[in-house]
Amino acid sequence: MAEHPAETHVIGGVDTHKELHVAAVVDHRDRVLGTETFPTTRHGYRLMLAWMNSFGDLQRVGIECSGSYGAGLLRYMQAAGIEILEVTAPDKLDRRRRGKNDDFDAESAAHAAFAKRHTVTPRTRDGMVESLRVLRACRKTAVQARRIALQMIQMTIVCAPDKIRDPLRSMTRMQLIRTLASWRPDLTAYRQVEEAYRISLKSLGRRYLELHDEIADLDDMIEAIVKDLAPELLAQAAIGLNSAAQLLLTAGDNPERLRSEASFAALCGVSPVPASSGKTVRHRLNRGGDRAANSAIHIIAIGRLRLDAHTQDYVARRIAAGNSKLEAIRCLKRYIAREVFGIIMRRHREISQSQIAA
C-alpha cells in the first residue's frame, strides 16, 4: 500500500460481484493507493467505507453494475452521504493491453470516477419507483408464465384423444380454462393415457387461473403506485397504466439527476440526431437510450395519432411543411417526452415539499 499523499482528497472505485466486491482508491493525482476485497454484506460495506476513508477525505465513488450486484452497496453509500457515480465497463483497448482481473476493473472504476468520464448519476433505489420496478418485473414473468401455460393447454388438447378434445372445441378461452380447472381426474390412474391427459390439463388450467389472479393483484398494486406518483400522467391522452409506469421507472426516484427535458428525451431515445448530407438537411430518431421507454412513447404517439384531433392536425401541418410522416412522428415523440418530463418533475417537487413540510 502506497504512502498517503499530502492532499487528503481521494476517489474510490468498486468492481461488484455476487459474493465479494473489489474496491480501489486513487489520490488527488489519480494515482492508485490500494485495492482490497470486501464481502457483500452490510458489515462488508461498513468496512469498505472505513477503509476508503482511511486514505483521506472520500469525495465520490464509482460503482459498476449499481442496478444489480452493486444495488446494496449503492443504498449504503447513499445513506452515508457519499456521492455515487455509475461507471461503465473498462475501455476495451485498455483491457486488451493490460489484461483483466478484478483489481484492474476496480482501479478503472476509480479512474473513471476521478475524471468523471463514462459515468452517470445512478437512480436511487429507496423510493416508490423502486417498488414499482420490482412489482412490474414480477408481473412480466407472471405474464410470460401464463402465456406458456395457455400454449401448453392448446398443444395438449390438439394431441388429446377425441373423447377429451371434442367437447372442448367450441369453448372460449376462459370457459375452457375454468372447465379444465374443475375436472376431477382419477389421480391413481395416471398410467392410462386418457387420465394422464386429464391430469395434465387440469394442472395447466389451475396454473393459468392462479397466474391470472396473481397478475390482477399486481396490476392493482402497480396502478395504486402510479396514481400516487403521477396521477396527472394518467389523465393525459393515450397514456395508459403500463406506459406511465415505464416512464416513471425511466425517470427514477431522483429525476433531478436529469439536467433538462432534453436529457430525458435522450434517455428515452427520442432526441433528434443530425442525418444531413450535402444539400439535404434532416434529422432522424435516436437509436439509443432506454428502449422500453422509447416503446412506451411510441405507443402513446400512435394512440394520439389515431384518437386525438390536435395530434392529427399537428402531424398534418408537419407533413404539409415538407416533413415525411416518420419525421412528423419523430417530432411528436419529442413533444411527448417534453410533456411527460414536465409532469414528472412537477409531481416530484410536490412530493418533496410535502415530505419537508411533514
DSSP 226-283: HHHH-HHHHTSTT--HHHHHHHHHHH-S-GGGS-SHHHHHHHTT-SEEE--BTTB--E
Average of per-residue pLDDT across 35-47: 97
Residues 243 and 217 grouped into a single domain: no
Query: Is the alpha carbon torsion for 174, 177, 181, 186 positive or negative?
Result: positive
19-57 burial code (b ≥16 CB/10 A, e <16) = eebbbbbbbbeeebbbbbebebeeebbeebbebbeebbe
Per the CB < 8 A criterion, the answer to whether 38 and 73 are in contact is no
- 353 falls within a domain: no
Give me 125's grid cell.
433505489
Shared domain for 144 and 203, answered yes or no, is yes
Residues 15 and 109 in one domain: yes
| Average pLDDT, integer, range 194-219 | 97
Cβ(104)–Cβ(3) under 8 Å? no
- 257 is in which domain, residue-wise? 236-338
Same domain (yes/no): 23, 80: yes
| All three cell numbers of 285 | 430518431
Closest CA to 168 of 185, 190, 153, 147: 153
Contact call for residues 251 and 264 (beta carbons, < 8 A): yes
In this structure, the answer to whether residues 174 and 191 fall within a common structural domain is yes
32 grid coordinates:
492508485
Last residue of a domain, one of 196, 229, 262: 229
Q: Which amino acid is at 110?
A: A
* 349 within a domain of the structure (yes/no): no
Report pLDDT for 352.
84
The values of phi and psi at residue 194, to 5°, are -65, -45
Q: What is the pLDDT of residue 6?
A: 47
Q: What span, in angstroms and rounded, lies between the C-alpha atoms of 293 and 257?
A: 17
Q: Looking at the structure, tell me whether residues 208 and 260 fall in a common domain.
A: no
How many distinct structural domains can be found in the chain? 3
Convert the pLDDT of each residue in 264-318 to its tens digit: 999 999 988 888 888 777 777 788 899 999 999 999 999 999 999 999 999 999 9
Whether 14 and 97 share a structural domain? yes
Residue 357 lies in a domain: no
Do residues 154 and 212 both lie within one domain? Answer: yes
**Over the chain, what is the mean pLDDT?**
92
Domain boundary among the residues 78, 99, 120 is at 120
58 and 24 housed in the same domain: yes
Stated pTM of the model: 0.85
Q: How is the beta sheet containing 9-15 ordered, strand by strand?
A: 32-39, 20-26, 9-15, 57-64, 83-87, 119-120
Choose between 101 and 92: higher pLDDT: 101
Q: How far from chain centre, in Å, is Cα 195?
A: 44
Q: What percent of the chain has pLDDT over 90?
A: 77
Confidence of residue 161 (pLDDT cuts 50, 70, 90): very high
Same domain, 96 and 19: yes
